[in-house]
Amino acid sequence: MSALFSNLMILGTTAPVSDSSSPIPVAEDGFATARASRTDGLARPKAALIVRPLHADSVYPPTARARAGELAQLLPVTETLDPGWRDVEVVIGGWGMPVLDADFLNRAPKLKAVFYAAGSVRGFMTDAAWERGIVVSTAAAANSATTAEFCVGEIIFSLKHGWRFVRDARAGWRTAYHYLPLVPGLVGSRVGLVSFGRVAQRVAELLRPFAMEVVAWDPVQPRATFDRLGVCAVELDTLLATSDVVSLHVPQLAQTNRLIDARRLALLKPGATLINTSRGDVLDERALIALLTRREDLTAVLDVTDPEPPAPESPLFNLPNVVMTPHLAGSYGPECARMGALALDELERWIEGRPLQHAITREQAAMMA
């Protein structure tokens, strides 16, 4: 097996075929709208189903693999130079996609579309792939929903100053009650969302039942997006200075590197919590460490860092007002299945000639993480 596919699981004709009466689980959030029935009367494209072994059963569980086999003819391509690639029309993918460079595309001359059961496509889509006109659809919407749910949990807990009281309880409750008057709670508090893309918009939707104010900063989103969700658009400095919880949702772009720098970090209001589930390099971590060392009233909840994980000697591991998690805001375990289901929903739309709901353009891909 070639080096290109050494970390991939490529499922071909050995994918299990289930009884068509076996139901596909349908998630309440509407992402996993899979149907097990064969698409009768329509040609089944020749496809390769590719995903890392670590994620194969979670992204494409047996029912999903069976459905893939009903929608498409799964070819048992096993290596880069396999002649079977010349017949592949569709890639049903996941984490571990091969890079679609010119050499790869020359071996797959009939490839027309990629249905990707994960988020950003920047890791595998190339100029050659875009210029060839390959259609690419992403399950970022499903993964974004999971990230948003994680964020909402952290936001609600942080508005109660939960992490501060956890560490105070471990210290014997000596200082816990001193901070009670500073707890913003969920009524009348302000949550600030830095960047207002897919994840942040879902966060705003999930926070609507609560009696809090949600504000956001995003220089490219139209005002109609804010208005539709009842979110007030504010300047970034205002957001940082007035929010009880600041949640970062910034894509990793050249212009967003160290966006939250020392000057902006210093604007955080007393008792504020900073949550980062976007990318580590949008924060100036040296400035953050210096600030948190001086200001014990602040808390940082970091699901991403730069580098990731931090260097073993990083002060982030020892600062009492830092909480770190290992990039777990996105989909894990059974949560991944709705990404696979979304990818297969898109494949079915493509086969039937219906408009795709999650297709990505070259310009949109350039703005993805």
Q: Which of 107, 132, 198, 327 is catalytic?
A: 327
Query: For residues 146 and 149, what is the distance between their CA atoms, to the nearest angstrom?
Result: 5
> DSSP of 160-188, one letter per residue?
TTHHHHHHHHHTTSTTGGGGGGG---SSS
Provide the residue type at 16 as one letter. P
Pairing relationship of beta strands 213-217 and 90-93 according to DSSP bridges: unpaired
What DSSP character marks residue 231? -
**Is 132 one of the catalytic residues?**
no
What DSSP character marks residue 319? -
Q: Which of 65, 202, 279, 358 is catalytic?
A: 279
Structure tokens that stand for 264 in this block: 């902006």
Lateral strand order in the sheet of 245-248: 232-233, 213-217, 190-194, 245-248, 273-276, 299-302, 322-324
Residue with tokens 């390099």: 281
Q: List the one residue out of 17, 15, 10 whose CA is nearest residue 77.
A: 10
**Is 335 one of the catalytic residues?**
no
**What are residue 214's DSSP bridge partners?**
191
8 A C-beta contact, residue 65 and residue 15: yes
Torsion, Cα of 351, 369, 336, 84 (10° steps): 50
**What are residue 245's DSSP bridge partners?**
191, 273
Query: For residues 116 and 137, what is the distance between their CA atoms, to the nearest angstrom?
Result: 6
Q: Which of 86, 258, 308, 349 is catalytic?
A: 308
**Is 354 one of the catalytic residues?**
no
Q: Phi first, then psi: what are they for 2, rounded to 5°?
A: -75, 165
Active-site positions read 279, 308, 327
